[in-house]
Amino acid sequence: MKPLIAALLLSLAVPVLAAPHPFEVKDLVMMERVSDQVLSPDGRTIALQLRETDYAANKGRNSIWTVPMAGGKPTRLTDVALNATTPRWSADGKSIYFLASRDDVSQLWRVAAAGGEAEAVGNLSLDIGSYKLSPDGKSVAFSVDLFFDCTPDPAPIACTRKRLDKAADDKASGLLYSEGFVRHWDQWSDGRRSQLLVASLGTDGLLGEPVLLSRGINGDVPSKPFGDDSEYAFSPDGATVYFDVRNVSAGEPWSTNFDIYSVATDGSSEPTNHTADNLAWDASPLPSRDGKTLYYLAMKRPGFEADRFAIMALDLASGGTREIAAGWDRSAGALKESGDGKTLYTATDDRGQHPLFAIDVATGKATQLVGDGQVAGFDVGAKALLIARNDLRRPTDLYSADLRGRNLKQVTRFNASRMKDLRTGEFEFFTFAGAAGANVQGYVVKPVGYKAGRKYPVAFIIHGGPQGAMGNDFHYRWNPQTYAGQGFAVVTVNFHGSTGYGQAFTDAISNDWGGKPLEDLKLGWAAALKKYPFLDADRACALGASYGGYMINWIAGNWNEPWKCLVTHDGVFDTRAMGYETEELWFSEWENGGTVYDNPEAYEKFNPVNHVKDWKVPMLIVQGDKDFRIPTTQGLAAFNAAQRRGIPSELLVFPDENHWVLKPQNSVQWHNTVNDWLKRWTSAGTK
């Protein structure tokens, strides 16, 4: 299929809403999504991944594009039918590598940066999950799922392929387990681990024979389910690879103990652990450009997944470590280094925004460079920064700035034609005195078509995590504009436990799920009603997912007076059962101060199941049947509780979705069902 024809078919998959209209869910699912942006070696050209929605096929299709850093017309390099992802530049800047399927197996491909026919450079019998090119471009590190007992085999890929083929022919389907983590996120374990390999790129441009680098390590490199190539890196001379991996022997379902290892790229030695002394999470290794220092991120408290990520520097000669920016009370994201080695760049939550920061390596001084909105990704060139940025009213586009974040200029406008016809709601942050007098932040979004003097129904959104935040970003699942477009005002509060307000504020929710957070929500709702007279307190519904879903279940029995209806999506209904049912046991055990059997009182203190007798508000329960984080039994129990109480209630189940609703048509169904529920109980309109 020619690229032009493919693009046309994608655009015709749903009716084009050309006339100006309020933002709605079909606008959301059809947005082109920019990601994985990387600068060419000379800093003049950007390669990026663009996701377009094939609505008829109910999926996204990805392709690789380039665009001049100075701005200009983007060029598509790969056909959407190839579904190409993860662009990376060759060392000479003449080619772009990417991942795409060949005979239903994910392989490494290459295409000329100037355009032309793409070609596969490997022909493995197993999927490549992630990859990274060496600095000189002569070799590639990549991950493949292997049976761990195949890793001593001289040909672990062939050994794994043989095992898989044999299992496919076996009529018996039972899986026998002898240790935990039998399933994670949305997949059952079949005994394979993501392992790290390296192969040379020959003079013919093809992958040579792979060498296993993570031999002897029974863990996933990169981690699952969301790990990527930021979890491993080549040294500047290409002789060493650094990677992080969970210490499985510490008890995988209840451990957050990741360590940083190094290994010779020729596979001549066993991996060496550099952070064995830290029993918490060490992550995202970044060798300095001069090869003398290994930067990485480190938490300090074992078992806590939302601890502050500190920036660490390991002197590779002496073995000594020091923390950079120890006084900066924010949790760093993945790092990139400036060309002169004097600055580290990172993005992180900060008071409702997700800015880019520059960290001075010598002094630890943190300077905010790009503030408003969300920096969804970035790259660092010799003279400029490449920034992927979005906000509550705009999807992600690419911007350029100088190395100090000045002269911010928009480079791409992929959704310009869609956005010019969309009407979105204006938003405003507000603060109030929350629990224990703490300064707490929230925001309000006005409905599309807002008119002063009128009152509007309200969607009161409670975020998940719980260590997360509702910020100034363009979200593809909980986007406030989908409610504003339906005539609702939106109120949200970043209660105790939210990120971006200092680690102590984040810590405050642990062992107190139904305490200070609920008080913040109550005080925030009262503050919003006082400050914004257009909010109709008599026509408001509360809704949330994950921890937000838990809070809806808790509110149902502990603060149901203000609400005409409730929506709980994949929410915890019984915290005691959750302590045994979830896959990542470390989460429940940290949040409740121990195991269920050692500390049962903590699990019962804020347990929604104990307050069902006080439920009275109509409730919509949504559940993904492939959600192993908060299993289906939690949603079924909540629905049965509401039904047994005689409360108007509905259950929406997605057999093919996990903790999130990802498929385009499922997303439309989700939004339509939720919006219909809100309208039914608030009689949406204006007064």
Which residues are identified as catalytic?
546, 627, 659
Helix (H, G, I), strand (E, B) or coil at 56: coil
Walk across the sheet containing 293-298 and list its strands: 282-287, 293-298, 310-315, 321-324
Please choose, from the candidates 407, 404, 402, 371, the residue with its C-alpha nearest in 3D space to the C-alpha of residue 389.
371
CA distance 163 to 167: 6
The burial of 430, by beta-carbon neighbours within 10 Å (0-12 exposed, 13-18 middle, 19 or more buried), is given as middle
Residues linked to residue 296 through DSSP beta bridges, in sequence order: 312
Are 619 and 646 spatial neighbours (Cβ–Cβ below 8 Å)? no
Nearest one of 95, 106, 103, 28 to 62, comparing CA atoms: 106
Q: CA torsion sign, 674 to 680 to 681 to 686? A: positive
From the list 249, 245, 241, the residue with the least C-alpha distance to 259 is: 245
* 543: nearest Cα among 626, 618, 653, 445: 618
Tell me the one-letter amino acid at 52. Answer: E
SS3 413: coil
Hey, which residues does 243 pair with through a beta bridge?
Answer: 232, 261
Separation between Cα atoms, residue 455 and residue 457, nearest integer Å: 7
| SS3 label, residue 247 | coil
- Rounded CA-CA distance 133/327 in Å is 35
Distance CA 372, CA 185 (A): 32
CB-CB contact of 189 with 182 (8 Å): yes
- Please report where in the chains the tokens 């059809």 appear, as a residue: 30
Under a CB-based contact definition with an 8 Å cutoff, are residues 667 and 28 in contact?
yes
The number of C-alpha atoms within 13 Å of 542 and in the hemisphere containing its C-beta is 24
What's the burial of 356, exposed, middle or buried (CB within 10 Å: 0-12/13-18/19+)? buried
Nearest by Cα to 296 from 306, 281, 276: 281
